[in-house]
Chains A and B, each alone.
Chain A
């Protein structure tokens, strides 16, 4: 079931972000990434040696982190230094070699997502895989970026006519009297079934829609959340002031807040991280789905796509006419959630 040897998105592309297949036109960027990599490798000892004030490397690192600028405005050297600092701190904190990737967006790429609501069985493997991949807080402070809404199918029944609405007329709304069906507001995401799919339900997973006109970005007072050139809306966790305006502005309830210090056990920590993606967060900052930026910028699928047992989730480059997601848009019946919010999500729902 978890045999997900799906073709990776970039297989047919010239400009695969795989280092071996690097196309000449993207050499300069590649060179930079490599340089960052070199810095990272030596940083474990190197940067620490440069900081001679105290013996406590971790405290020094956090202090330097506190003073660092907004990621987008950092020079390449500053970015490299910030990455090296983080790698050092995380490696010490989680007792394993942690890498913090800073691969920027690829030119000519605009990531998009399509989800087949007809196929989804509500198993929530996507939500679990997401937590494991993206280093969310666990336990009693578990954060999930994906929530699956269970929608009741509902039915009409003559015996229920007297229970209708308004009472005296017996008109039934949607499906069951008093339980309208197929309305997003009637969905619930705490269902605990014996097994899925349940007979009288269908499922609607939601997560960050990576809007083209993201209301969350507009309201952020310090521009800590922004849209990357490949269309992913990211958060610079080190710059976030925790005002939660973005949580208020999001029409999809896609953002989560670290109310306490995140609880991420050492053994569960995924050491392959990206600065703008799944690196461990701190308390008091906002986080959200990044389409697994640490994977997708390396030509891999997001964890939720990879794990879906029914192939309901499709991902790819919206600018590539041959990508899966474009094929879905061209051949299926597609809609976007809350289109009236005018946010232009790059997350599409479809059915066969």
Chain B
């Protein structure tokens, strides 16, 4: 018990103590949290009317970010899986960093869901026992279960490992390994269920196809490791912790192949929908070409296609892929491209046209943008603190002093 208390104390002391750069970074993120506070105050007091959402397009920026971030959370498995299933040494050492990223991503997901809800004060209606739960009927009910489960698995797995490192004790494999293996499968489940959330609605033909889960997973396994590569590069350049080239090289390979599959799936969808377009193709047509002058999403789509195709081609070239100076920039391009493809480019046109054929454009309001930026900033604050603590323990800077 004493050990656990000193772990908590030492951990927080280490996490909150940093150099000027560290505080500057946190301060920068806090600027967005100020906007977020204002945005949330407005939304909670006035209602969702402060958003750009309408009865026609009732799912917008919040849900788009949510869907994307579920993918980022699932993408953490691209570290854990090679480390534990293929015994990849370099990744094995940094598994816990992947778990920390997953925790931060799930926290962001939850913030976005809270913003999306019309009555966040009534979320307790979903709690077992005191509320009621439409399970297994409702996909949203499934999604809440898998996301909460994934959060718990990563907190338990990650912090158990860190605690053991801190205490300089070996991990109990019969406890730790099952958690890891369950988390690997669970990571796939969170993104599969999120795909089912939207593709099980025949009323929205753009989403209603069986390719959605695999497309979600391939784009997640491109965006997730792309972010991880960026984070690893920052960690390598700014801390004493060295992440081996081999780890980054495997991740960049995962990015390029998943990106290739994702582009192939996009191409398949476009050919299927456009060879003989029906009314069910109108959403995709609106996204790619616009409709009678309504073209709010067209630049987004083309940005995403150009970003993804060019990063795919660049990453195919080994000399560029292995150039760790250029790699993070290409990864940023991939990350942005997938954010658009899966967010604005998928969630919004799913509602356009409406089931009765009405084309209504949607532009996020300032409040929505403030809240979204704030959610990202909070996520990055959480990620920064989690990574700092984990790295401190991995470096041995924080360890149990046995008097």
Contact = CB atoms under 8 A, between A and B. Distances in A.
Nearest to A247: B58
B132 A73 contact: yes
A204 to B, nearest CB: 9
Interface residues of A, number: 49
A242 B48 contact: yes
A45 to B, nearest CB: 29
Nearest to B118: A242
A341 interface: yes
A219 B201 contact: yes
A252 interface: yes
Interface string A211-242: 00001001111111000000000000001111
Interface stretch (A81-89, A98-106, A258-266): A258-266
Interface string B359-400: 000000000000000000000000000000000000000000
A253 B58 contact: no
A252 B355 contact: yes
Contact of A257 (B118, B123, B132, B200): B118
Name the residue among A189, A218, A223, A256 with the largest chain B CB count within 10 angstroms.
A223
Contact of A251 (B122, B139, B203): B203
A220 B356 CA distance: 21
B118 A285 contact: yes
A185 interface: yes
B304 interface: no
A256 B122 contact: no
A342 B94 CA distance: 50
Contact of B126 (A241, A253, A258, A283): A241
Interface string B315-358: 00000000000000000000000000000000000110111111
Interface string B252-275: 000000000000000000000000
B31 to A, nearest CB: 29
A186 B122 contact: no
A218 B48 contact: no
B327 to A, nearest CB: 38
Contacts of A259: 47-49, 51, 53-54
B228 to A, nearest CB: 31
Contacts of A247: 55, 58
B299 interface: no
A338 B356 CA distance: 10
B44 to A, nearest CB: 10
B46 interface: yes
Interface string A139-165: 001000001010000000000000000
B118 A241 contact: yes
B49 A141 contact: yes
Nearest to A245: B140
A244 B132 contact: no
A189 B358 contact: yes
Contacts, number: 145
Interface in A163-216: 183-189, 206, 215
Interface string A21-32: 000000000000
A341 B279 CA distance: 14
A185 B353 contact: yes
Contacts of B356: 147, 149, 184-185, 187, 189, 206, 252-253
A59 B118 CA distance: 21
Name the residue among B46, B144, B350 with the largest chain A CB count within 10 angstroms.
B46
Contact of B202 (A187, A215, A243): A215
B170 interface: no
Interface residues of B, number: 47
B201 A249 contact: yes
Given A243-B118, A284-B119, A250 B203 contact: yes
Interface string B106-150: 000000000011111111011000011110011111001000000
A221 B138 contact: yes
A251 B140 CA distance: 18
B47 A261 contact: yes
B114 to A, nearest CB: 11
B282 interface: yes
A219 B138 contact: yes
Contacts of B59: 244, 248
A201 B354 CA distance: 22
A253 B201 contact: no
A252 B203 CA distance: 8
B203 A242 contact: no
Contact of A219 (B46, B131, B139): B139
Given A222-B134, A223-B132, A249 B48 contact: no
Contacts of A248: 58-59, 198, 201, 203-204, 350-351
Contacts of A250: 203, 355
A221 B134 contact: yes
Interface in B200-222: 200-204
A185 B53 CA distance: 22
A218 B138 contact: yes
A338 B200 CA distance: 17
Contact of B55 (A215, A239, A257, A260): A257
Nearest to A70: B132
Interface in A73-96: 73
Contacts of B131: 70, 222
Interface string B50-89: 0101111011000000000000000000000000000000
29 contacts: A184-B357, A185-B353, A188-B358, A215-B201, A218-B134, A223-B132, A223-B134, A239-B122, A241-B117, A241-B123, A241-B125, A241-B126, A243-B116, A248-B198, A250-B203, A251-B203, A253-B56, A253-B356, A257-B48, A257-B118, A259-B54, A283-B47, A283-B48, A284-B48, A284-B117, A285-B118, A285-B119, A286-B118, A341-B202
Interface of A: 66, 70, 73, 141, 147, 149, 183-189, 206, 215, 218-224, 239-245, 247-253, 255-261, 283-286, 338, 341
Given A223-B134, A284-B118, 13 more contacts: A185-B353, A221-B133, A222-B132, A223-B132, A241-B123, A243-B117, A243-B140, A248-B203, A248-B351, A257-B118, A283-B48, A284-B48, A284-B117
